[in-house]
Chains A and B, each alone.
Chain A
């Protein structure tokens, strides 16, 4: 009977094409608009590294100047503490990293020099964050210690410089310094960019990666946020490094709760020691945050999306209320047919099922159109959030979102149709049979 009812639904659509299309459009607009916001929430609130997000911890220390308001709660790490923690007596994987910007001078004479957005990071960065490689790999800790001039290229940069071929062993000149390519990344655009959300949670991943020690060793031009709560003594680079300025992202991998406790205890003793030396005078309760905790603390999913969600839900409700009215008109217009079907042996349950399927059929068409509306909406959001540095590739309708869209459209249209269906199935057949 299901297929029979689907066929009747198609015929019913053809019988009232204008009314049916209005309903489908109402559902499409409501569901499409809702799904735009849903998609934003779905991906913004997603776990960018679900396989180990509970084991990766971002560090926060008791920074700030009690005499200057709003200087506590610093999301990044100062240089002196980074060095100390990199030397901590543990075998845990850890990653210090920060952004830089440099001019790349291509060996290909057809290409002009251009700026690249780069990241200086310690060796464990690649393994900790499961960074995928197309060719080669990262470097080891010895390369960090000896400031080896090695570089890992993003897939895009490798395509631009070497046409996408295996460039491991090739030479790349950055800011006048020659680097040897040791690896080329596969496509990698985590969203949110959890390892450095402070510099744009939905910015693109960097194009080039070099040992973090070189940023200091070669005094490369740093980029990204730097927050100081005590100014450097003078304008020298050395003074900057030793100042109370946070500009480094520090992560550590702690596989078990015991490891987490050991490391938390270590941090507490380190902070106590620094406090005794006159630093870290604003205590904080928690210093280790796993990926999800850190994304929540940093409010990667902004409040605005919640407001937009509420607005989108209201729009969906308005569209569905319209659909209720249109369905009421459509189904009550079928009272004569319903009366005939009752006379021929249809019980109310069968008629109810028939019309639930008809409402679901309209909802499914509305859902398919809603996918188009949602795609257009997402393109609009991309334009609004535009900019080359922004990673908006995650803003798309994947299979899960598409399935949710269709399901939402079908279910909401059926719910909207319950009252009209109930009314239609309870008409007195005798009246309509005679009237016909």
Chain B
């Protein structure tokens, strides 16, 4: 599904060169829930940005759904991002002057979808996060947890194969964070592959696989058999 082979990424300024990812290789299979952990500056977000086609890399190969994305142009990358990838951010990144309906509408607009189909999908997505009744509200009228739910609805509305989440619970209190985590697990159980960057060791332990990065390299890649077993039982 996602296969990175020997990816290298350097950031250069006039004085300093930083190796963000070094010979980074990772394969994520369809339906997995992978948490990515590591200290600040280790390369977690760089990895997520490359995975989400928001950032290019210097060398290596990246196959997404079997497609080599290494040499794609901006238009092809945007199209792939729109159709296959959903993003969830730590600070939600909702557009403050668009109401919930219009926020969730954004990715569908770039897909050139008809108004009726868009409406149906948006309402379904908002309903799945329990916020359909507030579709005309502005983000500022919602709590942090509700805003993150809208962001999840926006990420899911295009029915992506991948969900990339960067510290999705970082700005939430522990109760709300638990609720968001449960929602993500439900989404994963419905078949969506999730890669989530987090600092929270507790949350990482609730995923079936945890990849720990240090200095741009994978330090450990642990399969959590307890979670897999409990998921199997639940299923």
A-side residues, CB < 8 A to B, are: 1, 4, 11-12, 14-15, 336-337, 339-350, 428-430, 433-434, 436
- In the bound complex, what is the Cα–Cα distance between A15 and B55 (angstroms)? 29
The interface residues of chain A lying within 8 Å CB-to-CB of B97 are 11-12, 14-15
Complex contact B79–A344 (CB within 8 A): no
The interface residues of chain B lying within 8 Å CB-to-CB of A14 are 97
Residue of B nearest to A428 (CB): B55
B113 to chain A, nearest CB (A): 11
Complex contact B110–A346 (CB within 8 A): yes
Stretch of B28-36, B86-94, B120-128, B208-216 that contacts chain A? B86-94
Docked complex: B16-31 residues within 8 A CB-CB of A: none
Other-chain residue from A11, A347, A433, A436 in contact with B54 (beta carbon distance below 8 A): A433
Docked complex: B150-177 residues within 8 A CB-CB of A: 154, 158, 166
- In the bound complex, what is the Cα–Cα distance between A434 and B89 (angstroms)? 8
- In the bound complex, what is the Cα–Cα distance between A342 and B78 (angstroms)? 7
Q: For the complex, is B199 an interface residue (Cβ under 8 Å from A)?
A: no
Residue of B nearest to A425 (CB): B74
Name 7 extra pairs, CB < 8 A, besides A339-B93, A430-B45.
Answer: A341-B106, A343-B52, A344-B106, A345-B78, A350-B78, A430-B46, A433-B54
Residue of B nearest to A10 (CB): B97
Interface residues on chain B, size class: 20 to 34
8 tightest CB-CB pairs across the interface, nearest first? Answer: A345-B82, A347-B78, A345-B110, A430-B49, A344-B107, A11-B97, A347-B75, A436-B91
- In the bound complex, what is the Cα–Cα distance between A423 and B52 (angstroms)? 22
Residue of A nearest to B164 (CB): A343
The interface residues of chain A lying within 8 Å CB-to-CB of B83 are 345
Which of A4, A341, A348, A429 has most chain B Cβ within 10 Å?
A: A341
Q: For the complex, is B136 an interface residue (Cβ under 8 Å from A)?
A: no
Given contacts A434-B166, A436-B93, contact A345 B107 (CB under 8 A): yes
- In the bound complex, what is the Cα–Cα distance between A12 and B96 (angstroms)? 11
Q: For the complex, is B95 an interface residue (Cβ under 8 Å from A)?
A: yes
Q: For the complex, is B81 an interface residue (Cβ under 8 Å from A)?
A: yes
Q: For the complex, is B137 an interface residue (Cβ under 8 Å from A)?
A: no
Q: For the complex, is B10 an interface residue (Cβ under 8 Å from A)?
A: no
- In the bound complex, what is the Cα–Cα distance between A251 and B85 (angstroms)? 80
Residue of B nearest to A436 (CB): B91
The interface residues of chain A lying within 8 Å CB-to-CB of B154 are 344
Complex contact B87–A343 (CB within 8 A): yes
Complex contact A348–B74 (CB within 8 A): yes
The interface residues of chain B lying within 8 Å CB-to-CB of A434 are 45, 89-90, 166
Residue of A nearest to B81 (CB): A345
A421 to chain B, nearest CB (A): 15
The interface residues of chain A lying within 8 Å CB-to-CB of B55 are 428, 430
- In the bound complex, what is the Cα–Cα distance between A288 and B214 (angstroms)? 93
Residue contacts A-B, CB under 8 angstroms, 12 given: A14-B97, A336-B93, A341-B106, A343-B93, A344-B82, A345-B83, A347-B79, A349-B75, A430-B45, A430-B49, A430-B55, A433-B166
The interface residues of chain B lying within 8 Å CB-to-CB of A344 are 81-82, 87, 106-107, 110, 154
B205 to chain A, nearest CB (A): 25
Which of A12, A350, A428, A433 has most chain B Cβ within 10 Å?
A: A433
The interface residues of chain B lying within 8 Å CB-to-CB of A428 are 55
The interface residues of chain A lying within 8 Å CB-to-CB of B1 are none
- In the bound complex, what is the Cα–Cα distance between A4 and B109 (angstroms)? 9
Q: For the complex, is B129 an interface residue (Cβ under 8 Å from A)?
A: no
Given contacts A4-B109, A349-B75, A434-B166, contact A343 B95 (CB under 8 A): no
The interface residues of chain B lying within 8 Å CB-to-CB of A348 are 74-75, 78
The interface residues of chain A lying within 8 Å CB-to-CB of B63 are none
- In the bound complex, what is the Cα–Cα distance between A1 and B115 (angstroms)? 11
The interface residues of chain A lying within 8 Å CB-to-CB of B78 are 342, 345-348, 350
The interface residues of chain A lying within 8 Å CB-to-CB of B98 are 11
B156 to chain A, nearest CB (A): 12
Residue of A nearest to B91 (CB): A436
The interface residues of chain B lying within 8 Å CB-to-CB of A4 are 109
A39 to chain B, nearest CB (A): 39
Contact with A along B44-85 (1 / 0, CB 8 A): 011001001011000000000000000000110111011100
